[in-house]
Amino acid sequence: MIGPLPDQPRMHLDRGYDSTKTRDLLQILGFAGEIAIKGVPAPIQAGKRWPVERTHSWMNGYGKLRRFTDKRKIIVEFYLYLAASLTVIRRLINRARTVYRWPTRPTTRRLR
């Protein structure tokens, strides 16, 4: 069992929500909002970027997914799985470039 809810619920938001519209909505809903202020570094950094945001930006790099209009589930899943597998393969190759080095390694990223 979780226990009772707090009397004054709190909402922690990042700088993207720093606007009077958001603050007014929090006040209407009865939430105590803690919104990071634009231009001021946050006191606690969770990391460079959240893994979900980073993954979404990688997936948005595939234009076929952005312009996709097919409604068949199997086709949509195929392109999503293809993009996900290409993203993972690209990350593994980039990681291997920095971890596994050899003396005659080419200086450019192009494979010859």
Query: 3-state SS string over 61-76?
Result: CCHHHHCCCCCCHHHH
**Backbone angles phi and psi of 55, in degrees to 5:** -65, -40
Could you tell me if 22 and 40 are in contact, meaning their C-beta atoms sit under 8 angstroms apart?
A: no
Band of residue 13 on the pLDDT scale cut at 50, 70, 90: confident
At residue 110, does pLDDT exceed 80?
no
- Cα(54)–Cα(64) distance, rounded to whole angstroms? 19
Domain count, the chain: 2
1 belongs to a structural domain: no
Are 34 and 56 found together in one domain? no
Give the pLDDT of residue 98: 74
Residue 44 has pLDDT above 80, yes or no: no
Q: What are phi and psi of 100, to 5 degrees?
A: -100, 100
| Mean pLDDT score across all residues of the chain | 76
> Which pLDDT does position 80 carry in this prediction?
84
Q: Are residues 55 and 95 in the same domain?
A: yes
pLDDT for position 41: 66
Which domain, by its residues, includes 12?
8-38
- Structure token pair of residue 94: 């980039």
What pTM did the predictor assign? 0.45
